[in-house]
Amino acid sequence: MFDLVLVMIAGAAAFAFWSAARGAAERAERIGRQACRAAGVQWLDQTVHAAGLRLRRGDDGRLGFERSFRFEYSEDGTERHVGRLVLHGDTLVSFSGPVRASERDLR
């Protein structure tokens, strides 16, 4: 009986981890798509790819997962560029990727 309870707890923890990872990937995808749309560039492959996972303390001092994602975009339809973003929970911690068209024109 005790073994069954442990298996159920482990299963619930694994499901919670998977669900949080899926939610973070969906949020990262929305952020990447919006950035590409705002910059007027083409979002490639229609997805983000998990690039890293680590434990990190938040501003409140609590431990949480920091997930890194990458995505690809194209400014001209031929060259591929890599964008990266990092989420701590639902909070965007860092972003590098396409810039808005008006900022790009300044170069």
pLDDT in tens, 36-78: 999 999 999 989 999 999 999 988 888 999 999 999 999 888 8
Residue 8 or 58, more confident: 8
Which residues have a Cβ under 8 Å from the Cβ of 88 and sit 6 or more positions away?
56, 58, 64, 65, 66, 67
**% of the chain beyond a pLDDT of 70:** 93
Lay out the sheet containing 42-57: strands in order across: 42-57, 63-74, 81-88, 91-96
